[in-house]
Amino acid sequence: MFSVSARTQYGIRALAYLALRPGWEAVGAEIAEAEGISPKYLEGILTRLAAAGLIRSERGKNGGYRLAKPPEGMVMADVVAALDGEVRPVDCVDALGVCDHDASCLSRGFWIGLKSAIDEYLGNRTLADIIENRGIR
């Protein structure tokens, strides 16, 4: 089954939550409670998003998480890449040699087309599209 990981689903929910907050900021415990995500699991997700430069984290009494750029500038392809790496429906879309069929594989072109469609969709959608619930079909 081709599916999106829970990590990516939760990450997008956390980003949407931040995008709807004043100043695009909140503390991790608040996000976890509001979105029904384990605080410990969410911490790992937020760490990945911060490492990718999508959010900023501040420690201390007034610390928390903040979007590093406006929702309009946060491309979903970057979010998915930060949390799960490159989208790849099957291993051979990037290179031949991962199975016995190589260049004779009749379905490889189909998988490459699927990857292209997914990449295009993610590259053309932003966090603003999600929170405004527009352009998502």
The tens digit of pLDDT for each residue in 53-80 reads 999 998 877 779 999 999 999 999 999 9
**What are the pLDDT digits (tens) for 30-48?**
999 999 999 999 999 999 9
Tell me the average pLDDT of the chain: 88
> CA dihedral in degrees (52, 125, 89, 12; nearest 10)?
50
Number of domains in the chain: 1
Question: Residue 124 pLDDT more than 90?
Answer: yes
Domain residue limits at 101: 6-132
Residue 15 in domain? yes
Question: What are the tokens at 10?
Answer: 């939760």
What's 94's domain CATH number? Answer: 1.10.10.10
Residue 1 in domain? no
Residue 46 in domain? yes
Contact 18, 25 (CB under 8 A): yes
pLDDT top residue among 128 and 110: 128
Output the pTM of the full model.
0.87
**What are the pLDDT digits (tens) for 14-27?**
999 999 999 999 99
Residue 97 in domain? yes
pLDDT top residue among 135 and 116: 116
Sign, CA dihedral 8-42-38-17, equals negative
d(CA 117, CA 96): 20
pLDDT of res. 135: 45
- For the sheet with 55-58, list strands across it: 25-26, 64-67, 55-58
Residue 60 in domain? yes
Residue 137 in domain? no
Contact 126, 67 (CB under 8 A): no
> CA dihedral in degrees (52, 91, 127, 9; nearest 10)?
-90
